[in-house]
Amino acid sequence: MPRTLKQEDLLATARKGQEIMIDAIRTWVETVRTATPRLSTVYAPFAERFPKVGSVYAPLAGQLPKAEAAVASAYDLAERMLASQRKFAEDLVKATRPLMPGSGVSQPEDHGQAVPQQPATEQAPQATAAKSTAKTTATARAPKGAAANRAPKSTTTTKRAPRNSTAG
């Protein structure tokens, strides 16, 4: 995928910031390096008064990787992880493509309006018919004056047109 102008600008800005930081660190290192010999001569007469610092013993220090090798190893791992994540994301897009608009799978046309969802009772017409028959039978057996005077409830739902959200 080609990089866009914004991506190039972002990368250039990041690189410029990195260059500024490296220059600042180089200046700091040079300052510390040149000042250290002068400071040691100033404090040399007082060196006997300072407490002695014992050596630090690190038994496996010699087996630790050099800084360059540690950086290379960390970035190699990061590259492999990023490649793995990219493959996962691409596979996820492929798996969900049938659900995406314009993928060739037929979708109900809504012409800019929400498509009303079918209630669960309309999805199972046999169950609705059985309930309707049971109500009719129960109403026919009811004593006079009870349910016989009332009209049976309709099991079909009327669909209303969706409200226009732009009307003020």
Question: pLDDT tens digits, residue range 110-142?
Answer: 555 555 555 444 444 444 444 544 454 444 555
The residues near 135 (Cβ < 8 Å, ≥ 6 apart) are 152, 153, 155
CB atoms within 10 A of CB 128: 16
Q: Among 4-8, 36-40, 72-76, which is the least confidently predicted range?
A: 36-40
Q: What gap in Å lies between CA 16 and CA 12, rounded to an integer?
A: 6
CA distance 50 to 43: 10
Q: What is the pLDDT of residues 23-64, one digit of tens each?
A: 999 999 999 888 877 777 777 777 777 777 777 778 888 888
Q: Has residue 2 got a pLDDT over 90?
A: no
In 3-state terms, what secondary structure has residue 88? helix
More confident residue, 88 or 37: 88
* Entry pTM: 0.42
| Mean pLDDT value across residues 79-105 | 92
More confident residue, 153 or 22: 22
- Rounded Cα distance, 137 and 140, in Å: 5
